[in-house]
Chains A and B, each alone.
Chain A
Amino acid sequence: MTDFPILTTLVLLPAAGALLTLLVPARRPELVRALGYGVTVATLGVTGYLVTRFEAGAGIQFVSTHWWMETLGVRWTLGVDGVSLFMVVLTAVLFPIGLLASAEVDRPKAFLFWVLVLEAALMGVFLALDLVLFFVFFEFTLVPMYFLIAGWGHGNRRYAAMKFFIFTMAGSAFLFAGILAVGFLHRRDVGFLTFDAGVLTEWASSPGALSSGTARVLFLAFAVAFAVKVPLFPFHTWLPDAHTDAPTAGSVVLAGVLLKMGTYGFLRFAIPMFPQAAVDLSWLLLVLAVVGITYGAVVAAMQPNIKRIVAYSSVAHLGFVVLGIFALTAEGIQGGLFTMVSHGLTTGALFLLVGMLHDRRHTYDVAQYRGLWKAVPVFGGLFVATAFASIGLPGFSGFVGEFLALLGAFVTSRWYAVVATTGVILAAVYLLWAVQRTVTGEPDGDNAGMRDLGPRELCTVVPLLALSLFLGFHPSPVLDRMEPDVDRLLEHVEARSDHDVPSPAPGVEEAEAGR
Chain B
Amino acid sequence: MWFLENAWLVPLVPAVSFAVILLVGKRLPKQGSEVGVAAVGASFVLACGAALQWIQRVADAEGADAEGGHALARVIGALGRSVGRLGAEEAHGAVVEPVTRHTTWFQNGGVELGVGIQIDGLAVMMMFVVTLISLLVHVYSTEYMRGDRRFTHYYAALSLFTASMLTLVVADNTLQLLVGWELVGLCSFMLIGHWWEEKPNSDAALKAFLTTRTGDIGLLTGVIMTYFVVERATGEGSFSILAVNEAATSGEVGHTLLFWTAAALLLGIIGKSGQFPLHTWLPDAMAGPTPVSALIHAATMVVAGVYLGARVYPVFWEGFSIDDGGVNLMAAVGGITVIIGAALAFVQDDVKKVLAYSTISQLGYMVMGLGVGAWTAAVFHLFTHAFFKANLFLGAGSVSHSGSHHSFDMKKDMGGLRTVMPTTYRTFLIGTLALAGIFPLAGFWSKDEILLGAGENGYELFLVVGLVGAFMTAAYMTRCVYYVFFGEYRGGDHAHADPSHAAGDEVVEHHLAEAQDRHEDDRLPVATAHAHDDGHHGAPHESPGLITVPLVVLSVFSVFAGFLNATAFDIEKFQEWVEPTVAFVPVEHHAFDWTKAVISVAIALLGIGASYAYYWLGLGPQRLAERNAVARAGKRFLVEKYYLDHLYTDVVVGFVKAPLARAAYWFNQHVIDNVLNYTGRGARALGRVTYDYVDQKGVDGVVNGIGLTTGEAGGAVRTIQTGRLQFYAFLLVAAVVVFAALLWVAG
Stretch at the interface among B126-134, B486-494, B698-706: B698-706
Cβ contacts under 8 Å, A511 to chain B: 234, 236, 238, 243
| A1-38 near B? 1/0 per residue, CB < 8 Å | 00000000000000000000010001000000000000
Given contacts A442-B197, A511-B238, A512-B102, contact A299 B668 (CB under 8 A): yes
CB distance from A39 to the nearest CB of B (A): 17
B616 within 8 A of A: no
Whether the Cβ atoms of A440 and B746 lie closer than 8 Å is: no
Whether the Cβ atoms of B110 and A330 lie closer than 8 Å is: yes
Give Cα A234 to B240, complex, Å: 41
For A506, the closest partner residue in chain B by CB is B110
A81 within 8 A of B: no
CB distance from A129 to the nearest CB of B (A): 23
Whether the Cβ atoms of B183 and A393 lie closer than 8 Å is: yes
CB-CB contacts below 8 Å: A151-201 with B: 151, 158, 161-163, 165-167, 169-170, 172-174, 176-178, 180-181
B665 within 8 A of A: yes
Cβ contacts under 8 Å, A271 to chain B: none
Stretch at the interface among B308-316, B458-466, B726-734: B726-734
For B730, the closest partner residue in chain A by CB is A173
Cβ contacts under 8 Å, A412 to chain B: none
Whether the Cβ atoms of B197 and A374 lie closer than 8 Å is: yes
Complex partner residue of B746 from A217, A302, A330, CB under 8 angstroms = A217
Whether the Cβ atoms of A158 and B699 lie closer than 8 Å is: yes
A-B contact pairs, 27 of them (CB 8 A): A113-B716, A147-B706, A167-B676, A173-B732, A177-B736, A177-B740, A211-B746, A218-B743, A237-B672, A302-B665, A334-B108, A394-B182, A404-B108, A406-B220, A407-B111, A410-B225, A424-B216, A424-B220, A425-B217, A428-B210, A440-B193, A440-B196, A441-B196, A441-B198, A479-B108, A486-B109, A505-B236
Beyond the given A424-B213, A505-B231, A505-B235, could you list 4 further A-B residue pairs with CB under 8 A, ordered by the A residue number?
Answer: A422-B217, A441-B199, A512-B102, A512-B104
B709 within 8 A of A: yes
Whether the Cβ atoms of A213 and B210 lie closer than 8 Å is: no
Given contacts A511-B236, A512-B112, contact A436 B676 (CB under 8 A): no
Cβ contacts under 8 Å, B665 to chain A: 299, 302
Main secondary structure of the interface of A (DSSP, over half): helix
Whether the Cβ atoms of A166 and B109 lie closer than 8 Å is: no
Complex partner residue of B224 from A329, A406, A476, CB under 8 angstroms = A406
Cβ contacts under 8 Å, A113 to chain B: 708, 716
A216 within 8 A of B: yes
Count of chain B residues near A, Cβ 8 A: 87
Whether the Cβ atoms of A213 and B746 lie closer than 8 Å is: yes
Complex partner residue of A330 from B102, B106, B109, B202, CB under 8 angstroms = B109
Whether the Cβ atoms of B111 and A504 lie closer than 8 Å is: yes
CB-CB contacts below 8 Å: B549-589 with A: none
Whether the Cβ atoms of A432 and B209 lie closer than 8 Å is: yes
Give Cα A378 to B637, complex, Å: 45
Whether the Cβ atoms of B739 and A425 lie closer than 8 Å is: no
Give Cα A302 to B716, complex, Å: 40
Whether the Cβ atoms of A432 and B238 lie closer than 8 Å is: no
Cβ contacts under 8 Å, A217 to chain B: 742-743, 746
CB distance from B123 to the nearest CB of A (A): 16
Most chain A C-beta atoms within 10 Å of own C-beta, residue among B108, B231, B664, B731? B108
Whether the Cβ atoms of A331 and B109 lie closer than 8 Å is: yes
CB-CB contacts below 8 Å: B311-367 with A: none
Whether the Cβ atoms of A176 and B197 lie closer than 8 Å is: no
Complex partner residue of B106 from A181, A299, A479, CB under 8 angstroms = A479
Given contacts A22-B713, A301-B656, contact A177 B735 (CB under 8 A): yes
For A330, the closest partner residue in chain B by CB is B109
Whether the Cβ atoms of B111 and A505 lie closer than 8 Å is: yes
Given contacts A299-B668, A302-B661, A407-B111, contact A162 B699 (CB under 8 A): yes
B498 within 8 A of A: no
Given contacts A237-B673, A330-B109, A393-B183, contact A407 B227 (CB under 8 A): yes
Whether the Cβ atoms of A441 and B202 lie closer than 8 Å is: yes
Given contacts A163-B676, A177-B736, A334-B109, contact A440 B183 (CB under 8 A): no
Give Cα A374 to B706, complex, Å: 44
Give Cα A444 to B640, complex, Å: 33
Complex partner residue of A417 from B104, B214, B224, B679, CB under 8 angstroms = B224
A68 within 8 A of B: no
Cβ contacts under 8 Å, B243 to chain A: 511
Whether the Cβ atoms of B199 and A440 lie closer than 8 Å is: yes
Give Cα A94 to B459, complex, Å: 61
CB distance from A329 to the nearest CB of B (A): 8
Whether the Cβ atoms of A394 and B179 lie closer than 8 Å is: yes
B242 within 8 A of A: yes
Interface residues on A, range: 35 or more
A363 within 8 A of B: no
CB distance from A96 to the nearest CB of B (A): 22
Complex partner residue of A508 from B106, B206, B238, B713, CB under 8 angstroms = B238
| A477-492 near B? 1/0 per residue, CB < 8 Å | 0010001001100000
Give Cα A505 to B193, complex, Å: 44
Listed from nearest, the 8 A-B pairs whose CB atoms lie closest are: A504-B110, A330-B109, A173-B735, A177-B739, A302-B661, A26-B711, A394-B179, A213-B746
Cβ contacts under 8 Å, B42 to chain A: none
Cβ contacts under 8 Å, A483 to chain B: 108-109
Cβ contacts under 8 Å, A150 to chain B: 703
Whether the Cβ atoms of B216 and A211 lie closer than 8 Å is: no
How many A-B residue pairs have C-beta atoms within 8 angstroms? Tell me: 218
CB-CB contacts below 8 Å: B209-250 with A: 209-210, 213-214, 216-217, 220-221, 224-225, 227-228, 231, 234-238, 240, 242-243
Whether the Cβ atoms of A221 and B202 lie closer than 8 Å is: no
Whether the Cβ atoms of B183 and A395 lie closer than 8 Å is: yes
For A167, the closest partner residue in chain B by CB is B676
Whether the Cβ atoms of A237 and B699 lie closer than 8 Å is: no
A449 within 8 A of B: no
Give Cα A301 to B716, complex, Å: 40
Complex partner residue of B109 from A151, A180, A410, A504, CB under 8 angstroms = A504
CB-CB contacts below 8 Å: A337-374 with B: 371, 373-374
For A170, the closest partner residue in chain B by CB is B731
Whether the Cβ atoms of B739 and A512 lie closer than 8 Å is: no
Whether the Cβ atoms of A214 and B746 lie closer than 8 Å is: yes
Whether the Cβ atoms of A509 and B112 lie closer than 8 Å is: yes
Cβ contacts under 8 Å, B719 to chain A: 143
For A478, the closest partner residue in chain B by CB is B106
Give Cα A508 to B240, complex, Å: 11
For A211, the closest partner residue in chain B by CB is B747
Give Cα A302 to B668, complex, Å: 13
Whether the Cβ atoms of A388 and B186 lie closer than 8 Å is: yes
Whether the Cβ atoms of B108 and A331 lie closer than 8 Å is: yes
Complex partner residue of B111 from A151, A221, A331, CB under 8 angstroms = A331
A298 within 8 A of B: yes
Given contacts A163-B676, A174-B739, contact A424 B217 (CB under 8 A): yes
Cβ contacts under 8 Å, B179 to chain A: 394-395, 399
| A421-440 near B? 1/0 per residue, CB < 8 Å | 11011001100110010011
CB-CB contacts below 8 Å: A370-389 with B: 371, 373-374, 388
A107 within 8 A of B: yes
B28 within 8 A of A: no
B178 within 8 A of A: yes
Cβ contacts under 8 Å, A211 to chain B: 746-747
B100 within 8 A of A: yes
A418 within 8 A of B: yes
Whether the Cβ atoms of A508 and B110 lie closer than 8 Å is: yes
A507 within 8 A of B: yes
CB distance from B182 to the nearest CB of A (A): 5
B93 within 8 A of A: no
For B675, the closest partner residue in chain A by CB is A234
For B178, the closest partner residue in chain A by CB is A394
B619 within 8 A of A: no
Whether the Cβ atoms of A166 and B202 lie closer than 8 Å is: no
A475 within 8 A of B: yes
A515 within 8 A of B: yes
